[in-house]
Structure 1
Amino acid sequence: MDLAALLENPWLWLALFVFVAYTIEAVTGFGSIVIALSLGALLLPIPDMLPVLVPLNICMTGYLALRHRQHIHWSTLLRLILPIMGLGTLLGYGLRPWLGDAGLRSLFALLIIWFAGRELYFLLKANASARATHGNWWTRGWMLAAGVTHGLFASGGPLLVYSLTGVSLDKARFRATLISVWFSLNSLLTLIFVVDGSLLPALPRIAAFLPVVVVGVIAGEWLHHRISEARFRIAVFLLLLLTGIALLTASLLAGYTPIQ
């Protein structure tokens, strides 16, 4: 295979996006699937990428959940988040065939634009502490929506964090609990991929991408101590915002015809 043909391989580009995503997660603590999926969706169908990206995420979150298990807020995890988001995840997975790949890309682009735009607003205004808290039904409603987006894109993080503005957890408990959420829900999605037959064909790519994840985490750990995290987060959200706009524009211009 010559260099030009190699560079035209979208899965090679996805490997690069996985490296970027896990490097960013190691620096900032979030975003591996959201970033890899948003960049990859410019080239590949979302349903084709999820059976690769979701099991990869289990490797990292499983290790981190075990390492920080003493900080997990079990009552919030087991009584509130997992029952609601688990139901939403199943609903979201069931909606995927109805939306089709182009519909998934458009909806995902809108989610990314909202998430990145909102975070940039608070970062640039330097008033993140001014984010309002909300009541129980508001929290549960957005948590269900977070589960739906997780079932659709394995990316329930933006809406879950939004819903948890009404839940009081310190930084260590918040991080450890969220990590446990992703490990649990991504394990559920991986089991679904086993049942629907999409995991087995993805295993060679998962194995090939595992070293990329490791290198990305190592690179992120190195960068974490050498760059300004605040400025880096602004750059990441700008990247996500531009990617979301490009993804939405491509979907609209294609008239809901999958990009080849």
Structure 2
Amino acid sequence: MIDQWLFYCLAIPVVLLVGLSKGGFGGGLGSLAVPVLSLAIDPRLAAAVLLPILCSMDLVSLWSFRGRWDKKNLAIMFPFAMLGLILGAAMSTYMDANMIRFMVGVMALYFVGHYVWGKHILQRVAVKPASVGRGGFWSTIAGFVSYIAHAGGPPISIYLLPQHLPKTLFVGTTVLFFSVVNYIKLVPYVWTGQLDTRAFVTSLVLLPLAPIGVRLGVWLHHRVSDRWFYGVCYVLLAVAGVKLLSESLLAWLG
């Protein structure tokens, strides 16, 4: 298992925050986890450690939001997400740790920008119905970045938010979508050796935090403003993004 103290100083709060997000706030903070943990370890190892934990969180979230999802949207999103996963698996085999660190840093800063500006703009536009064109495009992107860094939340939000779904229906739809995506990711992660014994044992050590975070998220769903919760977390994401970009650029220039 991983024995770096800095990793656990980052991993414990990150796992709790991601659990809170998946349990009551739409799961968007999957985009926070890999960038923050990549400050201490290889981003590919960070993604591998997180995947079993995310899968365990999905079981709790599925039970909490059972039956509360939009079937029409899911029928559009799933096939294209699979295409994105295939593209992510194929490309990840050709990228080294520094290249993935750079990509994760760019994703992090883009998602912060999307939260600060794009999310609020999307919420003010006219209601848009479910669409194969828009849903297919953003679900493919979501599948790709989900494979690389478990960061498919923002692309799916870009697609779903203009539909102005009720909050609980939105959360339930994202919960089911990413549950299926995460369990499918287990196959290529194990097949390629990314999820090895070291990563899996580390996941088991952190696993007890997963249901705690999710249940807290469910409890806070109707009690805490998502604006406050995400505001604090996206500040952390911005810091991690800048750090990862600077590290990768310095490595290339040096």
What is the TM-score of this pair, normalised by structure 1? 0.81
- Corresponding residue number in structure 2 for 1:182: 178
Distance in 2 separating the partners of 1:220 and 1:107: 29
Aligned residues of 2:35 and 2:241 also touching (Cα < 8 A): yes
Unaligned runs of 5+ in 2: none
Q: 2:91 aligned to 95, 107, 113, which one?
A: 95
Residue 170 (1) aligns with residue 166 (2) = yes
Residue 38 (1) aligns with residue 35 (2) = yes
Q: 1:111 aligned to 97, 107, 111, which one?
A: 107
CA offsets, 1:76-118, max 9 Å, x none? 21x2101001111111111012222111111111111111122
Query: In the TM superposition, what is the alpha-carbon distance from 1:30 to its structure 2 partner?
Result: 2.5
Distance in 1 separating the partners of 2:73 and 2:169: 10
Aligned residues of 1:85 and 1:146 also touching (Cα < 8 A): yes
Give the secondary structure class of the aligned counterpart of 1:72. coil
Distance in 2 separating the partners of 1:26 and 1:86: 24
- Corresponding residue number in structure 2 for 1:159: 155
Distance in 1 separating the partners of 2:27 and 2:70: 19
Larger-gyration structure (1/2)? 1
- Corresponding residue number in structure 2 for 1:70: 67
Distance in 2 separating the partners of 1:241 and 1:25: 20
Give the secondary structure class of the aligned counterpart of 2:96. helix
- Corresponding residue number in structure 2 for 1:22: 19
Query: In the TM superposition, what is the alpha-carbon distance from 1:44 to its structure 2 partner?
Result: 1.0
Q: 1:51 aligned to 43, 48, 52, which one?
A: 48
The sequence identity of aligned pairs, in percent, is: 23
Moved more, 197-206 or 105-114: 197-206
Aligned residues of 1:87 and 1:144 also touching (Cα < 8 A): yes
Unaligned runs of 5+ in 1: 1-5
Query: In the TM superposition, what is the alpha-carbon distance from 1:146 to its structure 2 partner?
Result: 1.7
Query: In the TM superposition, what is the alpha-carbon distance from 1:252 to its structure 2 partner?
Result: 0.9
The AA in structure 2 aligned to 1:190 is L
Aligned residues of 1:116 and 1:240 also touching (Cα < 8 A): yes
Change (3 A) 1:140 1:38: same
Distance in 2 separating the partners of 1:32 and 1:234: 11
Give the secondary structure class of the aligned counterpart of 2:252. coil
Q: 1:206 aligned to 199, 203, 226, which one?
A: 203
Aligned residues of 1:116 and 1:237 also touching (Cα < 8 A): yes
Task: Select the structure with the greater relative contact order (CA < 8 A; seq sep ≥ 6).
Answer: 2
Change (3 A) 1:238 1:32: closer
Q: 2:123 aligned to 110, 126, 129, which one?
A: 129
What is the TM-score of this pair, normalised by structure 2? 0.83
Change (3 A) 1:234 1:58: same
Change (3 A) 1:174 1:24: closer
Moved more, 214-223 or 51-60: 214-223
Residue 241 (1) aligns with residue 218 (2) = no
- Corresponding residue number in structure 1 for 2:227: 230
Query: In the TM superposition, what is the alpha-carbon distance from 1:128 to its structure 2 partner?
Result: 5.4
Change (3 A) 1:238 1:88: same
The AA in structure 1 aligned to 2:251 is A
- Corresponding residue number in structure 2 for 1:3: none
Change (3 A) 1:116 1:230: same
CA offsets, 1:14-69, max 9 Å, x none? 33432343345556343443222111011111111222211111112122223323
Query: In the TM superposition, what is the alpha-carbon distance from 1:12 to its structure 2 partner?
Result: 5.3
Give the paired residue count. 249
CA offsets, 1:174-196, max 9 Å, x none? 21111111110100111222323
